[in-house]
Amino acid sequence: MTQMEFLPFTRPEVDEETIASVADVLRSGWLTTGPRCRELEAALSQRAGGRPVRLVNSATAALEFALRIAGIGAGDEVITTAMSWVATANVILEVGAKPVFVDIDPATRLIDPALIEAAITPRTRAIIPVDLAGLPVDRDRIYAIAEKYRLRVIEDAAQSQGANWRGKELGTFGDLIIFSFHPNKNMTTGEGGCLVMNSDDEARLFEKLRLQGVTRFADGTYDCDVLGGKANLTDIAAAIGLGQLKRLDAFNQKRRQLARLYFEHLSAPELGLPLADFKQSNWHMFQILLPKSLATQRSTFLKLMAEAGIGTGVHYPAIHTTSLYRQHGWREGMLAHTESVAARTVTIPLFPRMNDVDVIRVCNAIRQSLLQLTA
């Protein structure tokens, strides 16, 4: 990056070898789910300690199918956080269940385990914790609660691939774990995601759910015994993923280095900085919090940053304050910490192709934008 270029808040990095592998797939004549998907599933399974891993065309589909595998449906309740992409809650509605939002811990910006038990009712069947920005939720506390109340845990690890909890990589332990391969994630397949499961039986059901509930037979016929969808990944996408997976650890290491630089150069005391976890987080995003006095001026701050050539994002508006969830009885004022963070959060650039000069440039733009807002 040069100082004259517009710096987006994220950008995928795809090398020439990966581009060539996509061309090979295109020349092969086999574009949809095939040998490259099986190769990527095997590589992901190896990384997950041999657990079954299956691909789909989005992490949203993986979340929905995880709920179906867990038997979650009409009349059930699922505890989660409103500090996430809206898909985390939408899939709960999609299977006919009810999302129950729990407030966040303002220090981590993740679901507060101390508040979960109070939200459990006889209808609670599962918990969906979310690793916002790549920072892992406290697995020990989540799984202790799940064991006590006999709940399934569906880890929304969409943003935390390659992160770890107490030295154990996410996906190598736990119940059901989803990862996302959207273009803004630490590794991408263009679009896509996967689910890490516990058994071959769960994997077989997942395979049916992602392709119309169909089981094919050697004689060319098939049976359909469950209601499935159309969510299979293509070999084109898997070819990208194979190249990305080889570089995931290097990508994550570079993100950690850049995050350290942000802490060194973001000296504005009025800003809320994320938890400085350099042992467990994969630093998917770096998110600052504007001062509470400037929360209503966030759009102006984003505009000033854009004028300085710096891309930013808002991740995320609080789910429970959106129109759909207001229809389900949620209102502002119900989750104070979530609402405060959601109103002030700004995602600043962080991706492997950045360098030290880019980080300093972003920090300078932040300081100048704040000065303009407070002048």
Query: Among all residues, which ones are annotated catalytic?
Result: 185
Collect all residues with Cβ–Cβ distance below 8 Å to 201 and sequence separation of at least 6: none
Which residue, chain included where needed, has tokens 């595998």? 69
Collect all residues with Cβ–Cβ distance below 8 Å to 205 and sequence separation of at least 6: 68, 69, 226
Q: Return the sign of the alpha-carbon dihedral for residues 233, 234, 235, 240.
A: negative
The two tokens of residue 36 are 């490259």
Question: How many CB atoms are closer than 10 A to CB 141?
Answer: 14
Collect all residues with Cβ–Cβ distance below 8 Å to 212 and sequence separation of at least 6: 224, 228, 229, 230
Task: Please tell me the distance from the alpha carbon of residue 45 to that of residue 123, in angstroms, as a whole number.
Answer: 33
Task: Tell me how far the alpha carbon of residue 183 is from its chain's centroid.
Answer: 11
For the chain, strand residue ranges (E) read: 53-56, 77-80, 98-101, 104-105, 110-111, 124-128, 152-156, 164-165, 168-169, 176-180, 193-196, 214-216, 222-224, 286-289, 345-348
Task: Tell me how far the alpha carbon of residue 56 is from its chain's centroid.
Answer: 15
Residue 288 has φ and ψ, to the nearest 5°, of -100, 160
The two tokens of residue 316 are 């995320």
Task: Tell me how far the alpha carbon of residue 130 is from its chain's centroid.
Answer: 7
Smallest CA-to-CA distance from 124 within 84, 151, 90 is with: 151
- Identity of residue 189: T
Smallest CA-to-CA distance from 330 within 319, 338, 341 is with: 319
